[in-house]
Each structure stands twice: as C-alpha cells, then as structure tokens.
Amino acid sequence: MPKCLPILLASTLLSGCMAVGGDYDRQPPPAAQTDWIDRANVAVAEEEFVAWWRELGDPELARLIEAALENNLTIRQGLARIEEANARRLRARAARYPTVSAESSTTVLQQSLNTQLGQAQFPGFERQYEQYALGAAFNWQVDLWGQARRRIDAADARVELLIAAANGARLAIASETAATYFNMAGFQQEKRALLLGIEAQRTQLGLAETRLEAGAISRAQLILVEAELARLEEQLPGVEAEIQANALALGVLTGRLPETEIALVDRVPPLLELPDIPVGTRADLLKRRPDVARLERELAVQTFEIGVARGELFPQLGLDASGGFTSIDPGAILSSDSTRFTIAPFLSWRVFDGGRVRADIRLAQAEARTAALAYVEGTLTAIEEAEIAIAQYDLAREGRPLALRTIELAQENLRLARIRFEAGEIDRFELQNAERTYSDSLRNGAISYRNSTLALAQLYAALGGGWQAVPPPPTTPAPIPVSD
C-alpha cells in the first residue's frame, strides 16, 4: 500500500471530528410567547387559514384566487428561483465527493529529425508511431475541518429561504387578489347605490318640471333638483373607472392578459357576511408568516457562512491520483508492463494573505448580527401588523350594522318627507335634503362594505393565512460525478 494512503485515511477520520464553527440551532421568535392586546390566545387549526376564501360563499372569489396561485407570474418566478437554489445545493453536496474521470486516447507521434535523438537514428528507431492509452484520474478535496459541510448547510438554508419567499409571494398574491376583488365589488355596490339615487332624482326632476309648468314651484326650486341630479351623475364615471381598473388588475394577477376578467365589470357580487375570525396565538402567527420564516432562514445562512469563512484559516488537504495503461502496441495495452500510476497527496495553507481571511470572517459575523436584528424586527413587525389588522377588522365589523341602520333611517326619513311634501307641510328644499341624505347613506353603506371586506383580506394576510405552502424540492444523495 502506498505510504500516502495512511495519511489520507487519518485525515478522513479527522474530518468528522473537527469543525470550523458556525453552528446554528433554530430559535423560536423572541416575541412568540406574548399575548394579544384584545384577543385571547386560543389555539386554532391551521386548516382555517389555508383557503379561507372558500368559506365566504363566493365561487367567483375562490376561482380568481386559486387561478392566481396557480398562474401568477411573480409566484412562478419564485418557484424558478427555488429550482436554481436546489441545483446549487446539489452542486455543494457533490463537492464533498471525489471526482473520477476516465480517458481513452490514440495519439499519432512524429519525432523531429533535427534533434540529437533524431539525428542519431538508433537501431529500430521509428520516426512516426502510434501510442494508445487507457486510464482514470481521481481528485478529492478532503473536508478536513467541515468547511464543505457548512457550505452544504448554507445551501440547504438558502433553498428553505427561497421556499419561504415563494410562500410569501403566494400570501401576497392571494391577499392582493382578494383585496382587488373586494375593492371592485365595493365600487359595484357604490355604483348600484348611485344608479338608484340617479333614477330617483330623475323621477323627481320629471315631477318638478310638471309642477313648474303648473306654476306650483319656482324655477329656482327646479334648478335645485337639476343640481342634485348633476352631482350624482358627475360621480358615476369615476366609480365605473375604478370598477374597470380592478377587473383589469384581476386579469394580470391571474397571469393572463388584463382584459381576461373584464366581464366581471357587469357582475354585482353577492354581499358577504363578515365572519368572526379566530386569530389563534402569537406563536402560531409567527409560525405561519412566511416573511418571518424567510428572515429566520437568512439568519441561518449567514451563521453558516461564518463557518465557511473560518475554514480558510486552516490547511486544505487533497489527493490527486491517476493511473492506467499506455502502450505503442494496442495488443499489449492491458499487459502489466503497460501500467502506470501517480499518487500525489497535497497540502495547502495560506501563510500570509494580508488579513483577507480574517476580514472575511469579520464580515460574515457582522452579516449574521445584521440578520439576527432583522429577524427580531421582523417578528415585531409581524405582530404589529396583526394587531393593527385585528383592530381595523373588528371596528369595521362593528360599524357594518351601524351603516345598515343609517340606510334604514334615511329611507324612512325620505318616505315621511315625501308624505309631508305632498301634504304641503314642507317645501321642495327640505325634501331635497331628505333625498340627498338617503342617497349619501347608500353610498356610505357601500363604502363601509368595501372597507370591511378589505379589512377582512388584510387581516388574513397579516395572520399569515391563504398561501398554501410550496412543497420543498426533492433531495437525492449526490452520486460520484462522472465527466465525459
């Protein structure tokens, strides 16, 4: 056995005993065990957050969100980035294994006659001849200090980081699709209220014109009716533009041309009931939030990179070996006299580099500290967003019955005003005020509905619900690579 092999075997054993550091244990978020301000910490099943839109009873909303999760181009880019990172991870794993290459060649050689050997013309000298070779080469960079292991750890964490980022994109797209749909539906309700007001005002204008011809009212009173009609009609184009803009946005969100969902412009969605949403615990929230998971994986990556940087402080051990058969006679290529081999273990160590390695270590440590602070900040931001979303949704949900009650009172007030006007108890100006109050209450009710449903979408987004996890890419043991 060659004398270098015991050295190689000893170094292989040492590679399992020595490490460059950069160890990382997954830590829970620092604020996970705190309580909500106005909600009880009650455990909630994860299923309640996965596809929350299906529980609202609007098939069109469910269709749009699921089409966006399937086809949105931002989400598909995130999935492509995961594939890239997984390929890099497999490459990092393959680096721990030796490289073996095989070769076969036939070489035609011609000796120069203008050299001392050529001019001597030894007996049996052939100026031109063929040489045949079969062989293999072996190269192995021994992971003596665990540096390659840390590269693999960092690559694994990067894949998980990009999966979390893709999940974050799915959450964002699902909530944006829902918010766009709710926004469109709210403006459609507002348009409906405007059209009812315009229709009622046109009826009043017809009556006012008849009364003017009969001398029952003045021209000034007719102008009041016309001005109110103009006020309502002037608001209609802006509302219609908002409806169309949201329908076009839904087309792009689902990964298609903007006009794909333009038919939704003429559809008035059903009014949704605002459910009582159990928010679970803060710890559950931080587990669901993909942005928090991404920040935690970024911290893991930067921690592992410290070990990669430290590995450059230590000597690097490797082995180059090659062997095979070489002969000028193809019939004797496999004979023992044609054998050849080379075994060359090598050791390299940076003796002086001007402090570059230590600077890289300090940089990696600083980046890890930055990532740790970002992780803490991200958990606090997630809790803040959830608390704000909870408060906004609760207030919007409480305000919804008040808006409906306001519409009922305004409608009753208008009914009584018309009776009093017909009886001559009030003038046209007072009736006009009652009509305007009712029209405004309808619009305000539509705006209240839009704000409530938007708050619903924002709450689910803040709670980390509705993104349906991207499955991790499959990992297979890296085989010994064979190059052509």
Number of H helices, E strands in the chain: 11, 5
pTM score of the predicted model: 0.79
Tokens standing for residue 453 = 């449903």
Average pLDDT, integer, range 398-421: 91
Asked if residues 430 and 417 have their Cβ atoms less than 8 Å apart, the reply is yes
Question: What's the one-letter identity of residue 294?
Answer: R
Handedness of CA 375, 380, 381, 383 (dihedral sign): positive
| pLDDT-based confidence at residue 5 (cuts at 50, 70, 90) | very low
Q: Determine the Cα–Cα distance for residues 131 and 330; give it in Å rounded to an integer.
A: 8
Pick the most confident of 115-119, 128-132, 150-154, 222-226: 150-154
Cα–Cα distance measured from residue 316 to residue 319, given in angstroms and rounded to the nearest whole number: 10
> Which residue reads 């721990």 in tokens?
96
Helix%, strand%, coil% for the chain, nearest 5: 65, 10, 25
> CA 358, CA 52: separation in Å to the nearest integer?
51
| 7 pLDDT more than 90 | no
Give the three-state DSSP class for 268. Answer: coil
Q: Which of 275, 329, 294 is nearest to 129 (CA)?
A: 329
CA pair distance 276, 278, nearest whole angstrom: 7
Task: State the Cα–Cα distance between residues 196 and 368, nearest whole angstrom.
Answer: 61
Residue 174 has which token pair? Answer: 């699902």
Confidence of residue 94 (pLDDT cuts 50, 70, 90): confident
Residue with tokens 């290459």: 101
Give the Cα separation of 383 and 389 in Å (integer).
10
What tens digit of pLDDT does each residue of 312-337 get? 888 888 888 999 999 888 888 888 88
Q: Under DSSP, is residue 338 helix (H, G, I), strand (E, B) or coil?
A: helix
pLDDT in tens, 235-291: 999 999 999 999 999 999 999 999 999 999 998 788 888 888 888 888 888 888 999
Nearest to 151 by CA among 89, 196, 193, 100: 89
Q: Looking at residue 478, what is its pLDDT?
A: 42
CA-to-CA distance for 469 and 167, rounded, in angstroms? Answer: 6
pLDDT-derived band at 24 (thresholds 50, 70, 90) equals confident
CB 182 within 8 A of CB 461: no
Average pLDDT over residues 165-190: 93
More confident residue, 55 or 412: 412
Residue 101's H or E segment, with its range, is: strand 99-110
292-313 confidence digits (pLDDT tens): 999 999 999 999 999 999 988 8
Q: In 3-state terms, what secondary structure has residue 128?
A: strand
Q: Model confidence over 57-87: pLDDT tens digits?
A: 899 999 999 999 999 999 889 989 899 998 9
The residue written with tokens 């592992």 in the block is: 304
| CA separation for the pair 242, 452 (Å, rounded) | 18
